[in-house]
Amino acid sequence: MKRTAWCLLAALIVCGAPAATAAQSPEDGGKTPQAHERAGGEAVNNGQDMTRPLTRVDLRYEYQNSPHLSGSKDDAHIVTVRMDKPFDLGPRWKLATRLDLPLMFTDRVSKDNTQGNTHFGVSDVLAQAMLVNIASERFAWAAGAQIILPTATEDEMGMGKYRVVPTLGMRWATPEMLTGSWVALAARWDKDFAESRSDATKVNELQLAPMVNIPLPDQWFVNLFPSTDIRCNLGDKRPGDSGRWFVPANVLVGKMLTRDIVTSVEVGVPIIQDYHVYDFKVEARIGFFF
């Protein structure tokens, strides 16, 4: 855990460093629609809302301490470059695309790492496309899918499956509570459809996130359940699991350093762990909006 604390501290120092940029006031002209959206006091977009996609690049560091069927604890350090690009399709419609390129340090035991040594390599690449509709000022929805490819360089760094993840999200603005606050529900169905290795564990999992976004003074914000980490195993019960549900306490604290730079730290710990996903996770990220 000491190693994790040092990694998190380093990430916070890097992400929290002051960034000075020249910026126009919200009343100034000449902004692109995205820049105006980020600058306006009541429409600040912190990047957490899937129905308000932004052109962005994120650098993310995630640590997971995961249970292993043998009873050992496995550490995984994942560095991901995330690239998002939305395309306007007309009034109220957008196509939001994403590409995740993950690298991993891990001591998980596998056929490629029988001694549990720390290895480095590429994990599974993710691509996503979501159709977004802004139905009204209060309500918006998004639907689409992710494709996850078994690009891991070693068995312990990926699932060994070709997976499709249908995704649905709905968001309701709640300005009567706080300006910029909203609630949302995101649901994903992670299902494998082909395998790259015969011993890979089958994947059939429902993933949920009842998100709540709470803006705070000085461009800080809190997001409850920012990731679809609530899980229900829809497939065969795995050895070592006592049930099908994994429910964590999952919270993200972030700050808009400028109108174009966001940083955050997310923490997750299990509340219900009948279905093993992780014992602890923390993710630090810095995002650049364009």
Q: What is the pLDDT along the chain (290 residues), one digit of tens a residue?
A: 444 444 444 444 344 433 333 333 333 344 444 444 443 334 589 999 999 999 999 999 999 987 655 455 678 899 999 999 999 999 999 999 999 999 998 877 777 777 777 788 999 999 999 999 999 999 999 999 999 999 988 877 888 899 999 999 999 999 999 999 999 999 999 999 887 666 778 899 999 999 999 999 999 999 999 999 999 999 999 888 999 999 999 999 999 999 999 999 999 999 999 999 999 999 999 999 99
pLDDT of 198 reads 67
User: Residue ranges of the domains in the chain?
Assistant: 2-289
User: Which residue has tokens 């019960």?
Assistant: 237
In this structure, which amino acid lies at residue 137?
E
Res 30: pLDDT: 42
Q: What are the pLDDT digits (tens) for 234-270?
A: 999 988 899 999 999 999 999 999 999 999 999 999 9
Q: What's the CATH code, domain 2-289?
A: 2.40.160.40
Would residue 139 be called left, alpha or beta, if left means φ above 0 and alpha means ψ between -120 and 50 degrees?
Answer: beta
pLDDT at residue 156, as a whole number: 74
Q: How many CA atoms lie within 13 A of 86 on its CB side?
A: 25
CA neighbor of 273 nearest in space, from 252, 242, 250: 242
Q: Please choose, from the candidates 237, 186, 174, 232, the residue with its C-alpha nearest in 3D space to the C-alpha of residue 210.
A: 186
pLDDT at 163: 95
Residues 185-216 have pLDDT tens digits of 999 999 998 876 667 788 999 999 999 999 99
Measured between alpha carbons, how far is 247 from 231 in angstroms, rounded to an integer? 7
Global pTM? 0.81
**pLDDT at res. 162:** 94
Question: What does the H/E/C string look like for the chain?
Answer: CHHHHHHHHHHHHHHHCCCCCCCCCCCCCCCCHHHHHHHCCCCCCCCCCCCCCCCEEEEEEEEEEEECCCCCEEEEEEEEEEEEEEEEEECCEEEEEEEEEEEEEECCCECCECCCCCEEEECCEEEEEEEEECCCCCEEEEEEEEEEECCCCCHHHCCCEEEEEEEEEEEEECCCCCCCCEEEEEEEEEEEEEECCCCCCCCEEEEEEEEEEEECHHHEEEEECCCCCEEEECCCCCCCCCCCEEEEEEEEEEEEEECCEEEEEEEEEEEEECCCCCCEEEEEEEEEEC
Provide the terminal-to-terminal Cα distance of the chain, rounded to the nearest Å: 36
A 10 A CB-CB count for 234 gives 13
For residues 29 and 23, what is the distance between their CA atoms, to the nearest angstrom?
A: 12
> Token match 């109220």: residue?
92
Single-letter residue type at 236: D
